[in-house]
Amino acid sequence: MSRKDIGMLGFEIVAYAGDARSGLLEAIKCARNGEFDKIDGLVENAQENLNIAHAKQTEMLALDAQGKDLDIGIIMIHAQDHLMTTMLLKDIVYDICEIYRKR
């Protein structure tokens, strides 16, 4: 896989993780505003985007496990960082929304 191909895969990961992140932050905003009926849909949509981004990441991991020589640039490093922080955010959003629900 060429550096360009890996970069494009990185852009896909960033895009899907970014969409997930936006939805998760919107879920917190909805919780803050008492719009609890919107939260589940936003979190589910975010999870779908994270699943796609994770599948793209798994493609890279599989290639690496096969011993393929991967020329990874800063875009892929950024993508990995973006994905992992968004996955962490998803884990936290549920608890934050629950705190708002119980207020």
Catalytic residue numbers, as ranges? 78
Q: What is the DSSP letter of 102?
A: T
Looking at beta carbons, which pairs linking 36-44 to residues 24 or more positions away fall under 8 Å?
36/97, 36/100, 36/101, 39/97, 43/90, 43/93, 43/94, 43/97
